[in-house]
Structure 1
Amino acid sequence: MLKVLSEYLRTLVLCVAVALITKAVWSGSYYMNFAISLAYGFVGFSSRKLIEHLKPSWPHKLKYIVIVLVTIVLGTIHAWWWIAGFKAFPAIDILINLLIIAAFVTTLLYQF
C-alpha cells in the first residue's frame, strides 16, 4: 500500500511540474493547467494500475498501448471540458487525430 501511495505522490509532483511548464508556455490560470495536468497524470497512472491488476498476462507492449490510448482519450475529454467551460465535447475529430498520432509515436518507440 505504501508503494502505491508513493507512486501517487510522484505522479502528483510530476503533474505540478507539468502545470508550471504549461502555464509558462500557454495562457490560462495555473489552476486550469494543474487540473488538466492532474487529469492526464492520474488517468494514466490509474489505467496502468487497473490493467496490471485485471490483465497481468497481457504483453507489456499491449498494456502500454492501451494505457496511452485510454489516457489520451479521457485526458483530452477532461481538458476540453476545462477549456470550454464544461460544454459538450464536439471535437471528436481532434481526438481521432490524437489517437492516430499516439499510435504512430507508440510504434516509433517500440522500433528503437
Structure 2
Amino acid sequence: MPGRPDRLAAADWALRAACGIRMDCAPFSQLIAMCIKAHTAPESTHGTAEVDQLARECGLAATDFTDALDQLTAAGHISSWSMQSASGDLYWTLTEPGERGCEGRTRR
C-alpha cells in the first residue's frame, strides 16, 4: 500500500515523542487513534491487526490497549472494535468522516 510505511513511521515517531504522557489525557488517545488509522487502508474504514503488535507499537500492555480502545470509542475516533480471543486479532471500524462533532462525540 503506497504511503503506509510513511504513516506507520509517523505514528511511531509521534508515540515515541509522547513518552510520559498519561494514558487518560486527550493527546495520548489521539496518538493511539493515529496508530490505528495508520493500520487502516486509506480507502477503508475497517481494519485488522494483531492486538499484541498494536499494543507494542503504542508502548502499552494488551489490557491497557483495550482500555484505550474503549476510550477511543467513547470519544468517537472509532465506532466499534472487537478482538478474536483465539487468534488475538483485533478488528475495528473507524468513525466515518463527518460523523464526529466538535467535541469528538459521535452524532446520533
TM-score bracket, shorter-length normalisation: 0.3 to 0.5
Greater helix percent: which structure? 1
Greater strand percent: which structure? 2
TM-score scaled by structure 1? 0.36
TM-score scaled by structure 2? 0.36
